[in-house]
Chain A
C-alpha cells in the first residue's frame, strides 16, 4: 500500500528557526529518509514553501475564483495532491483550472515546493 505522510507544524515557529537549526533538522530527517529509501520504500519527499507563497483556487462559485493565501477552511478534507513542474504560477494555475473543470466543487491550493527529492527515481 502507498501512504502519503503529511507533515504539520506551526509555520511562524519553523520560519523563525535559524539557518543552522533548520539545517540540523533537515540533516536528521535526511538520515531517517535514507534508511527507508535503502529498504526501497520511500518515494518523493517535498518540503513546501510557507503558506504566504500559496494561492487557492475555489470552485464553489462560477467562475472559479483565485485567492491569495492557503486553503483555510475546516469543512473540507484533503483528498489528494498533484506535483507539477511549471515555468510559473500562471501555468500552474492553468493546469489547476483544468483539474477543477474535470472535478467540480471544492478547492485547490497551489503551493510552491521548496525542497524536493524523489528517492524512488534516485535508486
Chain B
C-alpha cells in the first residue's frame, strides 16, 4: 500500500469516531462534517511530512475542533466586531470542550451519530444514504451510483434528510441502558437494510452495489467493537458475514442470480464463514436468543453444509419456527415452508403456505414457491398459473428470467407429452 493509500485508509477508518465527537461538540451535523473535512485536508499535508500520528482519530478531532472554533470566532467577530463577550464565551466553551475529549464518550458518540441517521421520520432509503454520507464518508456521487439515481437527486435527498434530522433534535446526554439498547436496535436494522441494498443487486449493477455489503459489514464490526457483549450485534455481524461469504457464487457471468442449490460452494469465502461461526459461538453463550442470531444460525447451516441436499433442513425448519414465534411474519412462514418441503415433502409445505395467500398476494416469492411445490406434485396447470403470477410481480429481469425457466420446462414437458400422444395416433406427422 502506498503512503497516500495508507493515509486515505486511516482517515476513512477514523471518520465515524471523529465526526461523532465533533458532532457532540458543535451539536450540528454540517459543522461537524466541515470540521472533519478541513482536518482531513490538513492531515493530507501534515502526515506525509511529520509521519502519521499515533491516534489518527484523536488528531483529527483536535484539529477539526480547533478549526471549527476559529471559524466560529471569525463568524462572531464579523457579526459584532467589538463584542468582547462573544469572544470570551467561545474561550470558555473551548476550555469545557477539551475536558470532554474522552475515550469513554466515543461509544455513545458513534451510536448517536448512527442513530441520528436512522431517525424514524426518514424513509429507509434516506436513512441509508445519510449514514453512507455522514458516517462512512462516501461522496454523493458514489452514493448516487449505488442507488442508481442521478447525483443531483441524491444531493437533494441527503440535504432534505439532514434538514429533517436537524429539526427533530436528538438528546446529547449520555443515554440510559434502555435508550442505548433501543438506539442499538434501530441502528442494527439500518445496517441490515444497507447490506440488503447491496445483496439484492444483480446484473450490471452488482459491481456498483456490492460495496454496500462491505460497508455494512464495516459498520457492524465497528458497532460490535463498541458493544462487544450484545448478542444481537454478534448475531447481526455473523449473519452479514455468512451471507457475504456466498457472494462469489451468487451471480453467474451474465449477472443472473444463481440459486443456492446451484452455487459452486468451493468459491464461498471460508474465512468469513469461520469468523461468522466464531461470533455466533460467542452470541450463544449469552443464552438471549434474538432474530439476528436465529437468522445467523440458519445461514451458518447453509454455509457449512457440504451440499444443498446434505443441508440440515430439520434444524433449519426448527430455527424458522423459533423465528416465527419471536417475529411472526408471513415471509418467515414462507421460508419455513421451504425447509418443510425438504423435510416432509411438497404437500405439507403447500398446506403451510396456502393460508398466507391473502397476506402475500403481492409477493413474488410466494408465487414462485407455490409454483415450484405444485410442479413437484405434478399439478402442472396450477403451477403454470402460479408462475405466471410470479412473473407479473418480479422486480428485476433476473427474477422474471428465473421463473421463465420453470415455465419453459412445463412447456417442454407439455410438448413432449403432446408429441408422444400425437405420435401414437399419427406416427407420420412429426413436427420439425
Listed in ascending order, the chain A residues whose CB lies under 8 Å from chain B are 10, 12-13, 15-19, 21, 49-53, 55, 66-69, 88-90, 112, 114-115
Q: Kindly supply a per-residue 1/0 record for chain B positions 261-280, scoring 1 wherever the CB is within 8 Å of any chain A CB and 0 otherwise.
A: 00000000101001100110
Q: Which residue of chain A has its CB nearest to the CB of B52?
A: A10
Judging by beta carbons under 8 Å apart, are B10 and A10 in contact?
yes
B9, B12, B274, B279: which contacts A52 (Cβ < 8 A)?
A: B279
Complex CA gap A90/B285 in Å reads 8
The answer, yes or no, to whether B229 is at the interface (CB within 8 Å) is yes
A16 vs B9: C-alpha distance in the bound complex, in angstroms?
8
When the two chains form their complex, are residues A89 and B278 in contact, meaning their CB atoms are under 8 A apart? yes
Known contacts A13-B10, A68-B228, A69-B228; A89/B221 CB under 8 A: no
Cα A17 to Cα B225 with chains together (Å) = 18
Contact B275 A69 (CB under 8 A): no
Q: Is the CB of B278 within 8 A of A12?
A: no
Give the size category of B's interface with A. 20 to 34
Q: Hey, which chain B residues are within 8 Å of A50, CB to CB? A: 221, 275
Residues of chain B contacted by A114 (CB below 8 angstroms): 271, 274-275
Q: Assuming the A-B contacts A21-B1, A112-B274, are A52 and B225 also in contact, with contact meaning beta carbons closer than 8 angstroms in the complex? A: yes
Given contacts A13-B13, A16-B9, A68-B282, contact A52 B229 (CB under 8 A): no
Instruction: Given A21-B1, A53-B282, A90-B285, verify A10-B228 contact (CB < 8 Å).
Output: no
Complex Cα distance A50/B274, Å?
A: 11
* Contact for B12 among A16, A51, A53, CB less than 8 A: A16
With A13-B6, A88-B281 known, 9 other A-B pairs at CB within 8 A are A16-B12, A16-B214, A50-B275, A51-B225, A52-B279, A53-B279, A53-B282, A89-B281, A115-B271
CB of B229 within 8 A of CB of A67, answer yes
Question: Which B residues are CB-close (under 8 A) to A89?
Answer: 278, 281-282, 285
Alpha-carbon distance between A89 and B285 when the two chains are bound, in angstroms: 9
Expressed in whole angstroms, the minimum distance between the Cβ of B234 and any Cβ of chain A is 8
For the complex, give the distance between the alpha carbons of A51 and B226 in Å.
11
Please classify the interface of chain B as helix (H, G, I), strand (E, B), loop, or mixed, using the class held by over half of its residues: helix
Asked whether A53 lies within 8 Å of B278 as measured between CB atoms, the reply is: yes
Q: Which of A15, A17, A115 contacts B221 (CB 8 A)?
A: A15
B237 / chain A contacts, CB cutoff of 8 Å: 52
- What are the interface flags for B217-235 relative to A under an 8 Å C-beta threshold, 1 for contact and 0 otherwise? 0100110110011000010
Q: Which residues on B sit within 8 Å (CB–CB) of A66?
A: 285
CB of B55, distance to nearest CB on chain A (Å) = 10
Some 25 contacts from A to B, beta carbons below 8 A apart, are: A12-B218, A12-B221, A12-B225, A13-B6, A13-B9, A13-B10, A16-B218, A17-B9, A49-B278, A52-B237, A55-B282, A55-B285, A67-B228, A67-B229, A68-B228, A68-B229, A68-B234, A68-B282, A90-B281, A90-B285, A112-B275, A112-B278, A114-B274, A114-B275, A115-B271
**Contact present for B229 and A49 (CB under 8 Å):** no
Is there an interface contact between A10 and B13, defined as CB atoms closer than 8 Å? yes
B12 CB contacts on chain A under 8 angstroms: 16
Give Cα A10–Cα B222 distance, bound, in whole angstroms. Answer: 13
CB closest residue in chain B, given A18:
B214
B285 adjacent to A12 (CB under 8 Å): no
9 residue pairs, one from A and one from B, having the closest CB atoms: A69-B228, A68-B228, A53-B278, A112-B278, A12-B13, A68-B229, A89-B281, A52-B224, A13-B9
Contact call A49/B222, Cβ cutoff below 8 A = no
What's the least CB distance linking B214 to chain A, in Å? 8
Chain B CB within 10 A, most for which of A52, A55, A89: A52
**Contact residues in B for A17 (Cβ distance below 8 Å):** 9
B9 / chain A contacts, CB cutoff of 8 Å: 13, 16-17
Nearest chain A residue, comparing its CB with the CB of B16: A12
Name the contact of B275 in the complex, choosing from A10, A16, A49 (C-beta under 8 A): A49
Smallest CB-CB separation from B233: which chain A residue?
A52
Give Cα distance in the complex from A49 to B13, angstroms: 18
How far is B278's CA from A49's CA once the two chains are assembled, in angstroms? Answer: 9
Residues of A within 8 A of B282 (CB): 53, 55, 68, 89
Chain B residues near A51: list those with CB within 8 A. 225
